[in-house]
Amino acid sequence: MARWALWEPVRPEGPGATPDVGFIEPMLRRRLSSLARMSLRVAHDCAHDKVDVRVVYASEHGELVRTTSMLEDLAAGEALSPTAFSLSVLNATAGIFSILQGSTAPTTAVSAAAESFGYGLLEACLQLASAPDVPVLLVYADEPAPAIYGLVEDGERSRHALAVLLESCAERNIDCCRTDSDMPRSTESQSRAFLRCLATGSSSWYGDDTAWHWSRR
């Protein structure tokens, strides 16, 4: 792992509630959702100087807030915005970052429920192993599901984004082990558990029947 970047709101509303994305031109910036802004902020912080970096974008809910708003418009008999529709797909943010970078490198989108971060990281590692000379950027971002869906999470789910740049020449290495488990499900998100590994040297996260273990060396 060469670099990593985290963004999370300083406060729920007002200054610090949304990331600064001044590096994006205003017309596009106005169209971005809060999820896209978080994602692009950490991607820029982590890999703005990497022109041809491959991108793996992972999210548990993706653009669910935007999609829900579109569904509400349909229910009210209103026409859908083509721009909103085009930016509602899971890989839209990865595509925007590629355009900002002027990159033609491939992008991959991953969504695997509560294990989206882990499988996104696994995908990024496999891509690096397949072509060690080309760096891979993992971007994970998520926010709670809209209230209309009721309680869909059974643990802590805060709005945040995390980017990890993988390079074969990196001095810092993270080992990952995934096993079967009958431990109680973790209340924190996978990405938070991974951040604990970066801070303390090791961490674990438990799903319904799986365990993920990370250790830093």
Q: What are the pLDDT digits (tens) for 82-95?
A: 888 899 999 999 99
At residue 151, the pLDDT reads 65
Mutual orientation of helices 92-101 and 34-47 as an angle, nearest 10°? 40
At residue 81, the pLDDT reads 86
Backbone angles phi, psi at 116, to 5 degrees: -60, -40
At residue 146, the pLDDT reads 86
At residue 10, the pLDDT reads 80
Q: What are the pLDDT digits (tens) for 126-159?
A: 999 999 999 999 999 999 888 888 766 555 568 8
Residue range 3-172 forms a domain whose CATH class is alpha beta
CA 143, CA 46: separation in Å to the nearest integer?
Answer: 20
At residue 153, the pLDDT reads 59
Domain ranges of the chain: 3-172
Give me the DSSP letters along 120-143.
HHHHHHHHHHH-TTS-EEEEEEE-
Positions of the chain with pLDDT lower than 50, given as ranges: none
> H/E element holding 216?
strand 210-216
Q: Are 55 and 139 in contact (CB under 8 A)?
A: yes
User: pTM here?
Assistant: 0.92
202-206 and 174-180 strand pairing? unpaired
